[in-house]
Amino acid sequence: MTEATYVSLKGFSSVNDSLFSTCYEINLCEWLKWGLLGKGGYFNINNSSSGAYSPTAPLSQLRYVADSRYSSGQVWETYRAPLVWESGIEQSVQPIAISGITVNNTFLPRSTTGASGYTIDYNLGRVIFPTGISTTSTVSMNYSHYWANVFTSRNAPWLQRAFAWASRTDHDHYSTQSGHHSFFRDNRIELPSVIVEVIPRYDATKGECLGGGRYVRQDFFFHIWAENSWERNQLKDIILLQEGKLIYLFDINNMERSGLLPLNSNCDIRYGATTYPTWVAPPTQSGSFRYRCSYLENLNSVEILSPQEGLWTATVRGSLMVEVPNI
């Protein structure tokens, strides 16, 4: 039975769909992540990588995580996260595609199953075994992590703690007993980071588009958190340089319904996962989810009073001008 249009709500199919605010926030996040990768915004970590603050072990060596949600020895963590899963970057040196892990000098490829199998949580930078292994094991992995982490406001709640000194394994936040930081990565934001927040200001009064529909203006914030002024200023300037930038939007609802999200429910990479350029490619291209055209405008920045010592912050405010068909 078809319900009369005058008693139903228009413009969406289900309350479970991601509507304007969520779609725009996700799109801005994925656009900025891919753009930074294309300008070399990642670090490759391999057996020869070492840091000024980790003289006794290469950065490729994972640390045991004493997480009570898992069995002892089940979870091991990289020194930085999230991990880069994307490929096809416009750089001569590509991010490392994770081919496997090494446990006590035994290489276990990604195809390993059974008791020695494992999943990789790209968001949290974790290797998770089906059962625990000895906590004195040596676990290592070649991988890449982002220079700047980009999150939506939903995935970076304000109750999480901004995490400076993320590369300092000699700092007192680091627990020598478990080889882990004193609070879990689920509840910390490693710096530098950009948090994308779509704000309630929404204007649908701008003129009509050719062929029907109209332009709407959705305001947003890019919250920038860094542990030094250079990183804060770099990210601020990079974003401000995008004034007037054309951004094609992809349909996150259609992507999810098609089962083609790049990461699965364990945050491991899905077989055959595609990347941002495919999502926003012309609609005739296989794997495209492009559905709207938008522009960045009115970008401006302000310094925000830091909530804690040693944290350098700024916020870039702007508007996303979106072509919206008649609904």
pLDDT at 140 over 60: yes
Q: What pLDDT does residue 162 have?
A: 53
- At residue 175, the pLDDT reads 46
Q: What's CA 94's distance to the chain center, in Å?
A: 18
Q: Identify the CA nearest to 62 among candidates 108, 115, 114.
A: 108
Q: What does the pLDDT read at residue 71?
A: 94
User: So what's the pLDDT on residue 53?
Assistant: 46
Domains within the chain, CATH numbers bracketed? 5-39+193-324 (3.30.2000), 42-146 (no CATH)
Instruction: Tell me: pLDDT of 77 over 80.
Output: yes
pLDDT score, position 171:
46
Q: What is the pTM of this model?
A: 0.86
Amino acid identity at 213: G
Mean pLDDT within 200-228: 78
Q: pLDDT, tens digit, for every residue of 101-133?
A: 999 999 999 999 887 899 999 999 999 999 999
pLDDT of 157 strictly over 60: no
Tell me what pLDDT residue 323 has.
Answer: 81
Give exposure, 243-262, as e/b (b: 16+ Cβ within 10 Å).
eeeebbbbbbbebeeeebeb
- Residue 292: pLDDT above 60? yes
Percentage, residues of the chain above pLDDT 70: 82
Q: Give me the pLDDT at residue 160, please.
A: 52
Q: What's the whole-number mean pLDDT along residues 295-322? A: 88
- What pLDDT is recorded for position 109? 96
Min mean pLDDT across 212-226, 280-294, 298-312 is at 298-312
Query: What pLDDT sits at residue 102?
Result: 96
Query: Which 3 state secondary structure label does DSSP give 217?
Result: strand
Cβ neighbour number for residue 161 with a 10 Å cutoff:
13
The better pLDDT of the pair 85, 199 is held by: 85
pLDDT at position 213, please? 67
Of the candidates 295, 296, 315, which has an alpha carbon nearest to the alpha carbon of residue 304?
315
DSSP output for 133-201: --TT--EE--EEEESSEEEEGGGS-TTSEEE--TT-TTSTTEETTTTEESS-GGGEEESSEEEEEEEEE
Q: What is the pLDDT of residue 13?
A: 76
Q: Please count the helices (runs of H) and the strands (runs of E) in the chain.
A: 4, 19
224-268, pLDDT tens digit by residue? Answer: 999 999 999 999 999 999 999 999 999 999 999 999 999 999 999
